[in-house]
Structure 1
């Protein structure tokens, strides 16, 4: 009597796991976006607000939806996706699990540009002066980093340049705070630096979305090169990848995505650092399968943190960057200790 045949065990490939994870995270981001639109300090009849907005009727529910709730939800998803994707790309490119979106110094430069607008008094005279100043600061920093990348500066050189740029921008920000004309201006600058999505409009979305989209495309175009770079720069070059071109696309894409995000939301830390660590065990060690899941999980985390900010009964509300730091820093320390990387 022959024993019954057991069906062959099929193992799920990292690509399949990544696709399923992307589908699940995409659904989660959609649900959190709807929740972000529905949740606020005052009750909102969402179907009525949607109907009024669609019909062009300027009712109060429609104005609350279009001017407050929807921009906040969209910016949460966009900023979170940029941070998560950039964190995964930078960790894959630098082959360093502690790399984060701010490692090139663009975030600090964007913050400095916005702070200079505060100090100059332009923020009160022009609605978009603040994000425009942040984008200008990020653009200047990105230009310097791109020039270094185009000249063939190696990975270590870019890291050192980013650290120097970040330190300089931080020192100049402290100088502006020190020279603030009155304590109220300094306090307003400090609050902005803590990061928040409150009081943003669809104009902020229109301003940052094109820059972010270009940055995403540039970074995603390096996926195959990141897999090769995991084996070392010499092997990647021998496989036919132009390392200077890869470096330029990564640096430019990260600068556009992160710089525009900081310009509209302020500093939101630890998302890009922690998210790839959560995704990597689910999709494998290769960088490519982790890119889209990292972006979507970053969007979900920022949306969830922003919902938490509104649900906690404190007035004024907690700053988003404070919440992500309070949650992200202990989590990262626990994760590194558990994996034996924190020695």
Structure 2
């Protein structure tokens, strides 16, 4: 209970901070007044068109990635697992890259996010086709790795053959991940998919707790492993696909957050789901605030910041896992 109160309070404070921090130095009270009561001044436009969408996307994407990471680690019973294992982030990125390269993203307002969502949908069906309806968790991982490798190869091929250096530059910067210049349109595109994904993943709590005893014990307790895996894959795909569609690639959130919070919930996968949702939202909100504070006049990417924070923690996790195995 105390952990939930702390995380909720932390997310609320970071959300309000995200609404205030920006190139235009404004106080909290005038900013909130402009947000809730509107007006004709520039501050109201900044709050409604720039800061509110950015804060909402950070909250949604961080929460979704955190829960997806906790669910994936609970299902595979491996703290090194992360949502990108099923390959959906790679295929979503490939769809967005193709939209940028072909000019669809520039000609059609929803071209890029819809192409990324289409790529995510193709990716999840490809993974399920390769893994089969009754395949093991190892088969699912191998299918995801294969799809990720293929998507990465095709993305590199598009960049290699790109005749337009400006399109290639845009692709590279988009793949770094960012919440800058996003609007409420992006919020409404991502919201239904992220909510659907979180709703599916939230139903896994009992099954993940039972899986700590092994698959045979979980089945003896009445857990349907096929249904559990389908909800895991489609829930993760909805979250990852929507997040990648509107913000590009933002890594390490689903890997680092569950690892940090696991000792605080007694290593119970069911409790870790919601704790990681709040923790993921806090991490992405913090990283996005840091982007605006570290280089306010530059174009530091959100995905770069999360990687700089997550990679050392990931190496520390590998080191601890190695020590425990000795």
**What TM-score do you get using the length of structure 1 for normalisation?**
0.90
- What displacement does 1:147 show? 4.3
Deviates more, 1:97-106 or 1:235-244: 235-244
1:333 to 2:284 alignment? no
For 1:84-103, what aligned pairs fall within 5 Å after superposition? 84-103=66-85
Q: Does 1:37 align with 2:28?
A: no
Match of 2:10 in 1: 28
Could you list the runs of 5+ residues in structure 1 that have no partner in the other structure? 1-18
Distance of 1:127 and 1:26 partners within structure 2: 35
Structure 1 partner of 2:284 = 302
Which whole-Å CA distance do the structure 2 matches of 1:341 and 1:111 have between them? 36
Residue 186 of structure 1: aligned partner: 168
Mapped contact 1:80–1:301 kept (Cα < 8 A): yes
Instruction: Classify the secondary structure of the residue corresponding to 1:124.
Output: helix
Query: Which of 207, 213, 218 is residue 231 of structure 1 equivalent to?
Result: 213
1:313 CA displacement: 3.0
Pairing 1:104–2:83 present? no
Match of residue 244 from structure 1: 226
Residues 105-254 of structure 1: pairs in structure 2 closer than 5 A: 105-147=87-129, 151-254=133-236
Q: Quick check: which has more Rg, 1 or 2?
A: 1
Q: Taking structure 1 as reference, are residues 300 and 342 closer, same or farther at Cα in structure 2, changes over 3 Å only?
A: farther
Verify the 8 A CA contact 1:271 1:301 in the aligned structure 2. yes
Shift of 1:190: 0.2
Residue 71 and residue 155 in structure 1: after superposition, are their counterparts in 2 closer, same or farther (change >3 A)? Answer: same
Query: Kindly tell me: are residues 342 and 86 of structure 1, through their superposed partners in 2, closer, same or farther at Cα, counting changes over 3 Å?
Result: farther
Q: CA deviation at 1:258?
A: 1.2
**Does the 8 A contact of 2:20 with 2:31 survive in 1?**
no
- Contact 1:336–1:342 under 8 Å retained in 2: no
Whole-Å separation in 1 of the counterparts to 2:123 and 2:325? 31
CA distance in 2 between counterparts of 1:162 and 1:98 reads: 15
CA apart distance, 1:293: 0.7
Instruction: Give the paired residue count.
Output: 325
Work out whether 1:259 is the aligned partner of 2:241: yes
Unaligned runs of 5+ residues in structure 2 are: none
1:322 aligns with 2:304: yes
Q: Distance in 1 between matches of 2:40 and 2:108?
A: 24
Mapping for residues 7-86 of structure 1, pairs under 5 Å: 19-86=1-68
For residue 285 of structure 1, the aligned residue among 267, 274, 278 is 267
- Paired with 1:49 and 1:296, the residues of 2 have a C-alpha distance of 24
| Runs of 4+ with >6 A deviation | none
TM-score by length of 2: 0.95
Alpha-carbon deviation of 1:149?
5.9
Distance 1:342-1:237 versus aligned 2 partners, 3 A rule: closer
The whole-number CA distance in structure 1 between the counterparts of 2:113 and 2:38 is 28
Report the structure, 1 or 2, having the larger helix content. 2
**1:271 and 1:86 mapped to 2: Cα distance?**
10
Q: Deviations over 1:165-187 (max 9, x none)?
A: 00000001001111212211111
